[in-house]
Amino acid sequence: MSGLPGVVVYAIFSGSSKPMTSLYVFEDAGIGRNITLMTSLLCLAFGFLYYVVIPWRVYPGQTIGKKITHIKIVRRDGKPLNLGMLILRQFVFLVFIEGLATATSTYVKVFLTITTKFYVDGYLTIIWFALTVMSMFLLFWNHQHLALHDRVLGTTVILLTGNK
């Protein structure tokens, strides 16, 4: 979902029907820096829409994927998440801290690389890999089965039964 703006902008400005693999190919296609920056921000906005707005306003506690798989994010006391908690869990933690957990984090790396003119991918990938592996370890090999973001924020994912 978050990559949709990139695909559309690439197709429009490059005139190519070849699949776009990364916003880094924009320069090779003759697409300017400002358009690439705006596209990366648009991709982040689409990620925000998917990970925060949809679970807040459309399917409370659920992205489309969670809706399909009948799971839901709630506070550990069973209460629904408010907007602030969704922003922290779904965007700050999953995109900016456990960056390998979502494809949306790719656009953070592109935006930082283009604005600073310093290739940050390797560094962020190492940091995000370590944090994501730690989170997975907590999820699968800890008696509480809570990922890092759930432990820190007091949230959990529940399986829905019936027609919820």
Domain boundaries, the chain: 4-159
Residue 143 has pLDDT above 60, yes or no: yes
CA 4 vs. chain centroid, Å, equals 13
Mean pLDDT of 135-140: 95
Enter the pTM of the model.
Answer: 0.90
Which residue has tokens 């922003």? 87
Q: Are 7 and 20 in contact (CB under 8 A)?
A: yes
Residue 28 has pLDDT above 90, yes or no: no
* Each residue's pLDDT tens digit, 92-123: 999 999 999 899 999 999 999 999 999 999 99
pLDDT of residue 163: 61
The amino acid occupying position 100 is: L
